[in-house]
Amino acid sequence: MTAQLISGTEIAKQIREELRQEIEQLKAKHNLVPGLVTVLVGADPASHVYVGQKEKTSKDLGIYSERYDLSEKTTQKELIDLVNKLNNDPRIHGILVQMPLPKHLNEAEVLFAINPKKDVDGFHPVNVGKLMIGEPDYLPCTPAGIQQLLIRSGIKIEGAEVVVVGRSNIVGKPIANILLQKGKGANATVTVCHTGTRDIAFHTRRADILIVAAGRPKAVTGDMVKEGVVVIDVGVNEIGKTAEGKRILVGDVDFDAVKEKAKAITPVPGGVGPMTITMLMLNTVKAAKFAAGLS
């Protein structure tokens, strides 16, 4: 068996086209332009790339976009003051403070300062709590993208044995909560494995759907999965560079071995990655509709 490739690039393109049409309708019918601001503190190269991609996608879809590039020496008070200013700006519906922040800044305090209605990353405790009880305003972007990959690829989630490898607040915990909810595109039986799990392979071999966010390359090998599994590989690991200096990226799954047993699998790159920014745009549109009383 050779697995079907689940292309995040193609599915993200479909969702963005749907969003583009919705944004055009909001502008035409309600004079409403969704607005997203990104705040970047310091000079982390990866963060600059991510923020640039978010800014480019916003403009492409017709979302009003602002960007703040702050010095590495920005104080906690200066950053909180900026967040409060953006909370009160009616043009801005979504606020994204790019993580990680420099070590002298308190990330939790910054996150808590964002108005939950403008927290389009879905990480504010209010939004995490709403997710837990099955009444979310916004789903965290990467887990939401994973769910859409499964739904739009025709993968049956209801009743499935889902195993999540990794328990981060960004991916593992929220995707487990999303897929165990009683509702469409969920209603699965979910097991979460982590560094304290005694025999991870015992659990991964039972998975109908395996979601891997372990944070290390090839953490899941071919002997750890059953025939016909659906694999979502969240990991992005640089393992070297080509002679031309291009980064060599692999996931948290041994792709070549696992694809021979899997029914479907996401590639790295081109799998989960493109979905994350797309779901951020979707949340920004939702936030604009909330603010206008349209949702």
Task: Kindly report, residue by residue over 155-210, the tens digit of the pLDDT.
Answer: 999 999 999 999 999 999 999 999 999 999 999 999 999 999 999 999 999 999 99
State the pairing for strand pair 209-212/230-233.
parallel
Given a cut of 70, whether residue 224 has pLDDT beyond it is yes
Q: Are 280 and 154 in contact (CB under 8 A)?
A: no
Task: Kindly report, residue by residue over 254-274, the tens digit of the pLDDT.
Answer: 999 999 999 999 999 999 999
The predicted pLDDT at position 247 comes to: 83
Q: What is the pTM of this model?
A: 0.95
> Tokens 């309600």 belong to which residue?
30
- Which residue type does 268 have? V
Q: Are 67 and 51 in contact (CB under 8 A)?
A: yes
Task: With CA atoms as reference, report the closest residue to 292 among 35, 24, 115.
Answer: 35
Helices (H), 35-193: 45-61, 76-87, 107-113, 125-132, 141-152, 172-180
- Topology match between the domains 30-117 and 141-275: yes
pLDDT band at 47 (very low <50, low <70, confident <90, very high): confident
The predicted pLDDT at position 1 comes to: 63
- CA-to-CA distance for 11 and 276, rounded, in angstroms? 11
The predicted pLDDT at position 151 comes to: 98
Q: Give 269's Cβ-side CA count (13 Å radius).
A: 9
- Which residue type does 273 have? G
State the pairing for strand pair 209-212/161-165.
parallel
Helices (H), the chain: 8-30, 45-61, 76-87, 107-113, 125-132, 141-152, 172-180, 200-204, 255-258, 273-291
Question: Could you tell me which CATH class the domain 141-275 is placed in?
Answer: alpha beta
Reading the block at residue 87, the tokens are: 């909370």
* Polymer length in residues for the chain: 295
Task: Kindly report, residue by residue over 107-156, the tens digit of the pLDDT.
Answer: 999 999 999 999 999 999 999 999 999 999 999 999 999 999 999 999 99
% of the chain surpassing 90 pLDDT: 90
3-class state of residue 24 by DSSP: helix
> Tokens 């939950």 belong to which residue?
116
* 156 classed as catalytic: no
Neighbours of 20 (CB within 10 A): 15
CATH tag for 30-117 (out of 3.40.50.10860, 3.30.2130.10, 3.40.50.300, 3.40.50.720): 3.40.50.10860
Residue ranges of the domains in the chain? 30-117, 141-275
pLDDT band at 242 (very low <50, low <70, confident <90, very high): confident
Out of 98, 147, 148, 181, the active site residue is 98
* 98 classed as catalytic: yes
* 54 classed as catalytic: yes
Out of 119, 121, 252, 254, the active site residue is 121
- Partnered with residue 37 across adjacent β-strands are 66, 95
Reading the block at residue 29, the tokens are: 């019918």
Q: Any idea what the Cα angle at residue 118 is, between residues 117 and 122, rounded to 5°?
A: 85
3-class state of residue 47 by DSSP: helix
